[in-house]
Structure 1
Amino acid sequence: MSGPRFARQLIPVLAAALLLVGCTVRIGSSPGSGAGTGAGTPSSGGAASETRQQDEQDAIDVVDAFWQRHFAELSRAPYDPPRVAGGYVGEDGPPCGGTPSPPGNAFYCPAGDFLAWDEQLMEAGYRQIGDAWVYVVIAHEWGHAVQARLRATQVSVAAELQADCMAGATLQGAVDDGLVRLEPGDTDELATALVAVADEYPWADPSSHGDARERTDAFSAGASGGLRACV
């Protein structure tokens, strides 16, 4: 994925691709990367790692730009973006309310109002799936930050699926707004990423996040119906 420019309607192609893919991404299947201070910080992974971290920064910029434009559809409050703590490795990430950062994970911390992720999580998905992986992860966690900014009545009891829905609305909306361009293969990557996050993966335990069909349905609902379909 890159920008600007756009290709309209991600979901019809994505839905077809979902019928063809299935995978499990495992942290241990790829080498770890060095710690980052946020996306764009070079690490020990060399040029490939720097490219991934640039894609992380691009994803941050795209997702934030989308919410700058569209947060008013959900709230009359001014939009105040969360802080992006960015990458860490293992247990060396920022704590959340006194709880250590989880290895192999990505999370939004309400107490500190920040997003963070294990770079090994990003590296595993990036190498096996592609750059669409970082967009899915970051858009999902940003969805949790948006939930924290909404009225309680707007936040679903199925908070993880709602964040998936918001991720779908964000990425399709960013395409429609010309903030990001879909490149050849991106829809397949997105489909694979959605299946992967619902498989046996530390970041997305199906018992709390939903199974593959629930998660892809939620993402597709947001992509086809926009933010209003998510609240």
Structure 2
Amino acid sequence: MILEVKNIDYAYKTKKSKKVLNQVSTQFEEGKFYTIVGASGAGKTTLLSLLAGLDTPMCGSILYNGEDIQKRGLNYHRKHNVSIVFQNYNLIDYLTTEENVKLGGSKSPQKLLSEVNIPHEAWTRNILQLSGGQQQRVAIARALASDAKVLLADEPTGNLDENTADEIIELLWHTAHKLAKCVIVVTHSKKIADIADEVIQIKDGFIERNSQIHN
């Protein structure tokens, strides 16, 4: 396994008496596509933030390749171990498409933009000149520019129309199964959950796992 969650608790600082996550343990492997689902406020994004090293649990630990991510340092974890795709893209609005991808790592932005089907003529445009779907593909290219083995995505199709969302889903599936990354997606989309190798359901602070078989 590449990523492991061991007995973590989490509560918001203003509501310490009500745990969002309660003794949660789970594991993730490379080359698999995971979705985290649950009702609004169930703790899906909280779990993703903990996996990303953007927040820390009250107790318990998160391990990357068997090592506690806090031991090496959360900055190191965010820089080397994980890459993140946000619902609102989080691109730098005064940079070009290529320049945004370069921020993700050392891999060729041109090659990555070709792989996510961004046309050549858009590479040197300001990022705001691209459609929402194109911006999300650029955000994925930026994530893939990193050597990180784990790609985390928070509602990556939430702002997209159905056809564009389908393209993003296919791209994330490809990232897991063809590029051998561990892809973990928080989503409300049944369509994304249906193609996942494993679905992680969060309810009342606890999680259930469902492995799926795809023909």
Q: TM-score, normalised by structure 2?
A: 0.31
Q: Which has the higher helix share?
A: 1
Give the structure with the larger strand fraction.
2
